[in-house]
Amino acid sequence: MKSETADGKNAGTGRLHLGHSSFGSRLLLGTGKYPSEQLMQEALEASGTEIVTVAVRRVDVSKRGHGSLLDFIDPRRYTLLPNTAGCTSAEEAVRTARLAREAGLSSLIKLEVIGDAKTLFPDLEGLLQATRILVAEGFTVLPYTSDDLVTAKKLRDLGAAAIMPLGAPIGSGLGIQNRTHLRILLQEIRDIPIIVDAGVGTASDAAIAMEIGCDGVLMNTGVAGAKEPVRMARAMRLAVEAGRLAFEAGRIPKKLYASASSPEDQMIE
Amino acid sequence: MTIVVNGEPREVPEGSTVTNLLRLLELPEGRIAVERNREIIPRSLHSQTQLSEGDRIELVRFVGGG
């Protein structure tokens, strides 16, 4: 288990540290796929999140009178985390990251290099290449990656600000399918945060990720696709908080047989 | 002159700047990133950057995403 001391990333404050910033909420929320922008706005609020992901896309120049997503996201309240979703090469991802920095005036980037259309699994070679370039350009790089420890170590050594392993395929809602691999990552990568990115389908999934010691959870479809996104956002907030508290509190060891909770002597005879 | 904006050919007056183009398209200056021939034009240079015949312009913004 990861401890709360010594290695700095969680020392004392209980806050999530990413690059030079720290955050009170450990839930990172996406802004895609909501039934409406109003519902998205309410869900962000209910989730307590402080970091919201956005995608970078072409403006539709055939339209007039552009409403902006940013009309619904208060920049004083939320930190924008642009992604490179949909990019399938390091080159494309780097280009998108640079455009995101120009559009948003911040150097945070959720780096995705997709290697397979069906699973949306990351192209780890491209991810490492893009990380190297973007770190050199001063970006705070948060790479969406697999749960592979060797890649995670390389990403860390290249200067990534966090490791963001998937718990299951993006948008699948399958929950945390790789608990053992995540635990290994948590044991071996102790100097930067580990944030589960993708796979969460319901509150218990988020709680499990946090209970095993992950530093945060990033989700989108699990909230946006729920029958009632605003209630699910609140559920996720509570789950992330509950899971974190349980982790910090330190769970009891698992035993095969019972151990009585009530005194076993002084029984009435 | 003809330039290409987000993949579509478009006529703009000779000597147009990036700022002129954004006004022509009724796009707000803030939070739109502009690339000309694969090079980002920082916001601070929009008003002094003149477009040339055949320029390939990308205009991007943030949309909902995970």
pLDDT in tens, A36-85: 999 999 999 999 999 999 999 999 988 876 678 988 999 899 999 999 99
CA pair distance A44, A216, nearest whole angstrom: 16
ipTM of this predicted structure: 0.95
Average pLDDT score over residue span A213-222: 98
Domains of chain A: 16-250 (3.20.20.70)
Q: Read off the tokens for B19.
A: 């700022």
- Nearest-CA distance A8 → chain B (Å): 28
Decide if B31 and A33 are in contact by the 8 Å CB cutoff.
Answer: no
The model's pLDDT over A98-107, given as tens digits with 9 standing for 90+, comes to 999 999 989 9
**Residue-by-residue DSSP string for A124-169:** HHHHHHHHHHHHHTT-EEEEEE-S-HHHHHHHHHHT-S-BEE-SSS
| CB pair distance less than 8 Å for A99 and B33 | yes
Interface of B with A (CB under 8 A): 5-8, 10, 25-28, 31-35, 38, 40, 42-43, 58-66
Residues of A in contact with B9 (CB under 8 A): none
Q: Is the pLDDT of residue A139 over 50?
A: yes
- Residue A2 annotated as catalytic: no
Q: What pTM did the predictor assign?
A: 0.92
Residue for token pair 């559920």: A235
Check CB contact of A59 with chain B, cutoff 8 Å: yes
Residue-level pLDDT at A4: 41
Instruction: Give residue-wise pLDDT tens across range A141-169.
Output: 999 999 999 999 999 999 999 999 999 99
A95 touches chain B (CB under 8 A): yes
Contact status, residue A181 vs residue A149, Cβ threshold 8 Å:
yes
Interface check A128 vs B, CB under 8 A: no
| Helix (H) or strand (E) run with residue A81 in it | strand A79-82
Contact by Cβ (8 Å): A236, A222: yes
Which residue in chain B is spatially nearest to A60 when comparing CA positions?
Answer: B6
**Which pLDDT belongs to residue A66?**
64
A-chain residues within 8 Å CB-CB of B64? 30-34, 37, 40, 54-55, 69
Please pick, among A2, A9, A110, A255, the residue that the annotation labels catalytic: A110
Give me the total of CB pairs closer than 8 Å, taking one residue from chain A and one from chain B.
Answer: 108
Q: Supply the DSSP string of B2-66, one letter for each residue.
A: EEEETTEEEE--TT-BHHHHHHHTT--STT-EEEETTEE--GGGGGG-B--TT-EEEEEEEEE--
Residues in chain A: 269
